[in-house]
Structure formats: C-alpha cells, structure tokens
Amino acid sequence: METILITGGTGLIGKRLTSLLLQNGHSVIILTRNKIEASENFKLEDPQSISYHNLSFAEWNIEEQTIECSAVEKADYIIHLAGAGVADKRWSEKRKKEIVDSRTHSSELIVKTLQERTHHVKAVLSASGIGWYGPDPSIPNMSPFVEADKADGDFLGQTCVQWEQSIDPVQKMNIRLVKLRTGIVLANGGGALEEFKKPLKFGLSAILGTGNQVVSWIHIDDLCRIYMQAIQDDKMQGVYNAVATHPVSNKKLNEILAVKQRGKFYIPIYVPSFILKIAIGEMSIEVLKSATVTNDKLRRAGFQFIFPDVEKAIADLINN
C-alpha cells in the first residue's frame, strides 16, 4: 500500500481523486489549512465502499510557509492540485495575484520541504492548465496545440509558466515530475458543467459568443485515472495535455447537455461577447477563446479514455 499526499484535496478534483485512490487500496493524506475542520467536513461519494481508515489530514500554511513535515516524510507520491479557482471571482489585480501566488508559493513550500527533510517521494504529479496555450491560429487546418508549443503571453499563459517553473526544482532531486495541462473539467457538483446547467432550469441553453469556439474538455474520472496511471507508470515524465480525444464547440457542448437534460424542451440563446465582457471582465477572453488541444502524447503513453467524446461524458454525468 502506497501513501499519496494531496494538496488541494478538498476541492472538486481532489475529492474525486481521493475517493478513487482509497478504493484502489492507497493511503491518502490531504494537506489542509485546518485538519480538524477538514476531517469533520470531508465527505466522499459512496462511503460504504471506502475505508476512511486510510485517509488522514495534515496541516500547512502557504502564506507562512509552514507544513506538517511528517506528512511529507510518509509520502510515496505527491499530487499537487492546490491553487485558487481561476473562474471563482472576477479578475481584479488583487485576484490575479492570488491566483498566481496560491500556485507558486505552494509549489515553493513543497520544494523547500523536500530539500530539507528526509523522505522517500518517488514522484510529484502537478496540475497545470491548457491556459498555457493561446487562441487557435486563424490559419485554416492548423494542427492542434501540443506540449512543445510556447506559452501564450496573456495572463493565464504566463500564470501557467510560473506555475510549472515553481515545481520544476524537484527534478534536480532525482524525483520524477509529471505536469498535467488540464482542460475544462466536466463534473457534477461544481466547475463548468454546473454553470452550463443553471440556465437549463429555466429552459434556456446559453451559448457564449458565437458558440464556435472550441472547448478542450475532460471528464473528471478520466482526469483522475490519468493521475493514477502517472503514479503507476514510472515512464511517464514531463508535460501531458489532460484533455479528451474529441474537443467540441461551445455550442455543441451546450446543445448536447440541453438535450440530455430537457429533450426538445429548451430554447437556445446566444450571450453576446460584449455582455460577457461587462459581466466578467477580462475573464471573458478565456471564455470566448477557441483552444484545440491534442492528447496524442498521453495516448502514446498507453492511457485509454473511458470518455473520449462529450456526448458519452455528459450522459454519464447526468445519469450519476
């Protein structure tokens, strides 16, 4: 039984990943600001099939750069998911600093602890984002973005650069490093899919801008399975695009969701780009950006998707 230390373990992805790791016989330690509060409030899906005996919590404080070192000393692997939600709040200058600092300072604390303490960590698996890439080029039939492509110069592109660079020093300690540039995660209970569902309560399917922008997405279970494969496969190293095989337009995604939830009883409405700019400011650039990203490298590493297309993914999430 191996011990996995997770940062960001109380978030949407972290909870699902914790559940799957426990089901597969691993021990999990979740780093949190208040371990008593976290342990009292932490709830997993289908708890009857999960042994809570193998789940524990440890404290860290990113601002003060403190950590419960025994948690790191026990860990065989570290999964680093921590970071302020990119879409949770409007992007003021203060919020943008928080988004960057929450990622880089947490990485720096992990690196510092690994440098200073005795440990047996075999690999660090770190989240990143496809915000690394800019918008699709306007040239017809251009290839999709691959891991070797340069980072965009916008806010999210440069955030991803700093994010990835902040965890890179673990490689100098002969620790295997895997970075997953993650697409739009489709999941129940939070994230983009829940936002897309909200207008459907009123029979409306909200299509953003023209709706033609390409969304590179991934089902939460496939994302968690990628992390699990990266634990088991010591040949996996470096950057991988964690996106499904078939990207889809914003319009198509919303149409499929509407049909699955309401059949024929919905009205598509287009939300103009200028309305989005007024409502969410600079973040509207990302919402309206078309980004076609390939997962070829991941599939060459032997990963097999359960949900390669969005219709199957949405059907699964609606039914569960």
Of 176, 175, 6, 170, whose CA–CA distance to 75 is shortest? 6
Of 214, 212, 206, whose CA–CA distance to 270 is shortest? 206
Inside any domain, residue 38:
yes
Inside any domain, residue 137:
yes
Q: What is d(CA 119, CA 26) in angstroms, rounded to the nearest whole number?
A: 18
Q: What's the confidence (pLDDT) of residue 134? A: 92
Q: What is d(CA 293, CA 142) in angstroms, rounded to the nearest whole number?
A: 11
Alpha helices in the chain (DSSP H): 12-23, 35-41, 69-74, 93-116, 155-167, 191-197, 220-232, 250-262, 273-280, 284-288, 296-300, 310-319
Q: What percent of the chain has pLDDT over 70?
A: 97
* pLDDT tens, position by position, 198-234: 999 999 999 999 999 999 999 999 999 999 999 999 9
We report the CATH number of the domain holding residue 167 as: 3.40.50.720
Structural domains in the chain (count): 1
Contact 48, 69 (CB under 8 A): no
Inside any domain, residue 125:
yes
Domain, as residue range, for 113: 3-187+216-244+293-306
Q: What is d(CA 107, CA 212) in angstroms, rounded to the nearest whole number?
A: 36
Total residues belonging to the chain:
320
Q: What's the confidence (pLDDT) of residue 221? A: 97
* Dihedral sign computed on CA atoms, order 259, 263, 269, 271: negative
CA 25 and chain centroid, separation: 23
DSSP structure class, residue 301 = T
To the question of pTM greater than 0.85 for the whole model, the response is yes
Backbone angles phi, psi at 83, to 5 degrees: 165, 140
Q: What is d(CA 99, CA 84) in angstroms, rounded to the nearest whole number?
A: 5
Inside any domain, residue 91:
yes
pLDDT tens string, the chain, 320 residues long: the values are 899 999 999 999 999 999 999 999 999 999 999 988 888 888 766 555 566 689 999 999 999 999 999 999 999 999 999 999 999 999 999 999 999 999 999 999 999 999 999 999 999 999 999 999 999 998 777 799 999 999 999 999 999 999 999 999 999 999 999 999 999 999 999 999 999 999 999 999 999 999 999 999 999 999 999 999 999 999 999 999 999 999 999 999 999 999 999 998 999 999 999 999 999 999 999 999 999 999 999 999 999 999 999 999 999 999 88
Inside any domain, residue 115:
yes
Inside any domain, residue 120:
yes
Inside any domain, residue 132:
yes
- Cα angle, residue 26 at apex, residues 23 and 31 outer, rounded to 5°: 105
Of 28, 227, 242, 256, whose CA–CA distance to 130 is shortest? 242
DSSP structure class, residue 293 = B
